[in-house]
Structure 1
Amino acid sequence: MSDTAEQTGRHIERPEESEPLSDAEQRKRRRERRIAAYRGARQVLARPGFLGTLRERLALLDEARALDLHDLDETVDLYGDGIVGALEEKVAGLLGKEAAAFFPTGTMAQQVALRCWAGRTGNPTVALHALAHPEMHERDAFSQVSGLRPVHVTSEPRLPTADEVRDFDEPFGALMLELPLRDAGFVLPSWEELIEVVEAARERDAVVHFDGARLWESTVHFGRPLEEIAGLADSVYVSFYKSLDGFGGAVLAGPQTLVDEAKAWRHRYGGTVFQQFPTALSALAGLERELPRLPEYVAHARVVAAALRDGFAAAGVPWTRVHPEPPHTNEFQVWLPYDVDVVTEAALRQAEETKTVLFGHAWDAKGPGLACTEVSVRAAGLEWTADDVKTAVAEFVARLNEEVSK
């Protein structure tokens, strides 16, 4: 959960001092309050595992052992063999690809994938969205580390169109599509639009790579199985902790020759870790436990989103936006016409006072008097009815009005 949104928060006084806290100290305290509220809440829409205790996270390994996901009498993995190899094979099968390589991070996996494709195409230019994860959250890693040259097909809050790809004014060796596009609101194109975009890239002799960190939950929107979705791309990256609640890790899947080269570059990047069996076992547990439930989460996210909209209307909030509507995945955005410090404090107070977390992510300032946050619906959220959501909205708006009047 990013805290960059809270830079504009109001000053919070230290009990023993009159000097206001710095922005960094305010962000730190608010994050601590959010985590504490999550920990103490009785009702949440999602309970992310990464906020758990060490004991709770280790229990996931006990669960994996109980599920009999792998032969635990097998010798532990060394530099990517054993259970890591078994995980690679399983994910390659799920995505319908020849082979797969396990990486400690998606940042590394995608740099390696695209530099391998650059060697094959002879063009280091990567066409991608201006809001794509490498551009927003990776400190220019493509250009600073991997010799790639990112160019932006569009900056609109949607996926690129076929015409934008076809008419782009310079050559590129690879088109990278983030599915769903998180910073635009976890949005996806239609299935027909996605096919047209891929075909447009191929017309330009470019390869297509899917940033599929959250691809797992796209099947409901597309109405297609994972294998068919991934089959549109030359290579695909998927994450194990964003949707599947694993400890970390990622897989790059594609042709055998690409994966073989990727493993060589993985070694050079320092990603061939000595032993990774806890992370691999947690990934296998996530595939077993969470993957089959993701369609249920997506369906209920649409119930929650509609109830949020109706609840804010009933509470008299002058304007609100649920984006996209209906949600394309089990995650979406909520926009409200208030300063970010006001909605942040109202959300924290509600969580602390009622033990119900409606908005547990940080709020981003999108302009004067405009704030946005992300909402995630997971297993815990399935317990909420539409009426539960509307009740929580009313409680939130009551505190929102109190903050506005201060």
Structure 2
Amino acid sequence: MAEENVTDPAQRRFETLRGCTRQLSGTRPSTLRESLDDLAGGSHDLDTRTDVYGNGIVEALEQRVAELLGTEAAAFFPTGTMAQQVALRCWAERTGDPTVAMHPLAHPEVHERFAYSQLSGLRSVWPSTERRIATADEVAECAEPFGTLMLELPLRDAGFLLPSWEELEAVVGAARARDAVVHFDGARLWETVPHFGRPLPEIAALADSVYVSFYKTLGGISGAALAGPATFTDQARTWRHRYGGQLYQQWPAALSALRGIERELPRLGAYVEHAKAVAGAIAGAVAAVPGARVFPEPPHTHQFQLWLPFPAELLNETATLFAEQTGEAVLPLMWHEPGLPGISFTELTVAGPGLEWSAEEVGKAVGAFLRRLRAAG
């Protein structure tokens, strides 16, 4: 019996979203040709040199990031995982303390295969295990000493959560009182400005160093940066080389990062504001479903979670069929099960495409999706 030709799920999602006239969450997947055309659409002079081992356009990007964050310098990295490990390693060398205080849901704990311990011999302590950023009291009362406090802003796996500005100042103050340095895992720091009501330099100034991503929020190809004092970034560049991050040329990633800064950064305030309206509409549409929840409501950034009491496999298939048949992707096509029986969640990102939807349209479309889901289940 011949094997059934099964479409790769990732390819099916790509083709489905490419065929939709509208999608609420995220951005429409691009072809390679579209991506190259987009790189040429910015204001950067394409007749200037590219880069060789980090000069040229990479240097221009580093200077731009330092200006945006108000730091003395910035260093480009090919990946955020490498940038995070280098930052924590540098601070451990400087403080003489290999212990890092972080949240159990922080990116190095969940998504980096414990590289901080496997590669650098560092260890972590958890001031809090609650699904939120630790409070100042929890940092102050942590039972073990630590040299670095790492704060993920926003805390993605807990629902893209942020503290208030006053709470953040207090947490940083508590770490300083323990003679610890503060590092911001700010992969999505760009989108925190509306919530904090402070400009990026004022937010970054609370920390001794900051990591930012160029593909999260800004939609770049890849890459990240560490920003802080020049002595810190110089040390970080040394470890970047040792970790294999001194690539011969990285101009496509650098150019796409500059393009994202130019295009997406000015729009983030509108994205965050519309995300609140969208989240409210979705919450209203799922209110009659026991166990359904939008979290947090309202969102702290332009990203939030939606929890529904159905298996992920059913949600993935129904969401994909709904998009294929209607030409509109109102909810993401990827759902996840966190280990709770019968409960799944997805993450929504309200960016440029999401602005095309009114809150009323979102509510109606989610209601139609739920009717199909009940019929399929």
Correspondences of 1:53-64 after superposition (within 5 Å):
53-64=31-42
Q: Give the one of 114, 119, 123 matched to 1:145.
A: 119
Q: Deviations over 1:140-189 (max 9, x none)?
A: 11011122112222221110111111111111110000000000000000
Aligned length, in residue pairs: 376
8 Å contact 1:46–1:379 — kept in the other structure?
no
Q: Which residue, 318, 324, 346 being the options, matches 1:346? A: 318
Give the conservation status (yes or no) of the 8 Å contact 2:72–2:228.
yes
Distance 1:291 1:226 in 2: 11
Tell me which residue corresponds to 1:272.
Answer: 246
Partner of 1:299: 273
2:302 corresponds to 1:330: yes
In the alignment, residue 310 of structure 2 is paired with which amino acid?
Y
Counterpart AA for 1:103: F
Give the letter aligned to residue 12 of structure 2.
Answer: R
Q: Which residue of 1 aligns with 2:355?
A: 382
Q: Normalising by structure 2, report the TM-score.
A: 0.96
Aligned-pair CA distance for 1:381:
0.5
Output the amino acid matched with 1:371: S
- Kept in 2, the 8 Å contact 1:123–1:173? The answer is yes
Task: Answer yes or no: is the 8 Å Cα contact 2:316–2:333 preserved in 1.
Answer: no
For residues 325-364 of structure 1, give each alpha carbon's deviation from its aligned partner in whole angstroms, at most 9, with x where no partner exists: 1000010000112222222222122111111112225212
Q: Structure 1: how far apart are the matches of 2:130 and 2:112?
A: 20
Deviation, 1:46, is: 3.6
The structural deviation recorded for 1:75 is 2.6
Counterpart contact for 1:127–1:150, Cα < 8 Å: yes
2:375 equivalent to 1:402: yes
- Structure 1 position 181 matched with structure 2 position 160: no
3-state DSSP of counterpart to 2:231 = helix
* Inter-partner Cα distance in structure 1 for 2:336 and 2:282: 18
The residue correspondences of 1:206-285 to structure 2 (distance < 5 A) are 206-285=180-259
Structure 1 equivalent of residue 15 of structure 2: 36
1:84 and 2:58 aligned: yes
* Structure 2 residue 331 is matched with structure 1 residue 359: yes
How far off is 1:38 after superposition? 1.0
Stretches (4+) displaced over 6 A: none
Aligned-pair distance for 1:272?
A: 1.1
Aligned residue for 2:184, secondary structure, equals strand
SS in 2 for 1:171: coil
- The CA distance in 1 between the partners of 2:37 and 2:227, in whole Å, is 29
Q: Distance in 2 between matches of 1:397 and 1:338?
A: 11
Q: Contact 1:365/1:372 (CA < 8 Å) preserved in 2?
A: yes
Greater shift after overlay, 143-152 or 379-388?
A: 143-152
Between 1:241-250 and 1:149-158, the stretch displaced more is 149-158
Match of 1:75 among 35, 43, 49: 49
Instruction: Structure 2: state its 5+ residue gaps.
Output: none
Q: Post-superposition shift, 1:74? A: 2.6
Q: In structure 1, how many angstroms separate the alpha carbons of the residues matched to 2:244 and 2:150?
A: 24
Amino acid at match of 2:18: R
| Cα deviation 1:275-306 (Å, max 9, x = unaligned) | 11111111111100000001100000001000
Q: C-alpha distance in 2, partners of 1:165/1:197? A: 7
How far apart are the structure 2 equivalents of 1:387 and 1:16?
48
Partner amino acid, structure 2, of 1:337 = P
Q: Report if aligned partners of 1:185, 1:333 keep a CA contact under 8 Å in 2.
A: yes
Question: Do the aligned partners of 2:27 and 2:352 also contact (CA within 8 Å) in 1?
Answer: no
Question: Gaps spanning 5+ residues in structure 1: where?
Answer: 1-14
Structure 2 CA distance for partners of 1:352 and 1:149, relative to 1, 3 Å:
same
**What is the Cα deviation at residue 16 of structure 1?**
5.1
**8 A contact 2:26–2:349 mirrored in 1:** no
- Tell me by how many angstroms 1:250 deviates: 0.5
The separation in 2 between residues aligned to 1:395 and 1:374, in whole angstroms, is 19
Q: Deviations over 1:112-149 (max 9, x none)?
A: 11111111100011110000011111111101112211
**385-394 vs 182-191, which moves further:** 385-394
Question: Aligned equivalents of 2:25 and 2:361: distance in 1?
Answer: 14
CA distance in 1, matches of 2:294, 2:26: 21
Q: Which residue in the other structure is 1:8 paired with? A: none
Please give the secondary structure, in 2, of the residue aligned with 1:130.
Answer: coil
Shift of 1:226: 0.7
Q: Which residue of 2 aligns with 1:7?
A: none
Checking the alignment, whether the CA contact within 8 Å between 1:38 and 1:47 is kept in structure 2 is no
1:122 maps to what in 2?
96
Corresponding residue SS for 2:212? strand
Aligned partner of 2:52: which letter?
Answer: L
Aligned equivalents of 2:257 and 2:321: distance in 1? 35
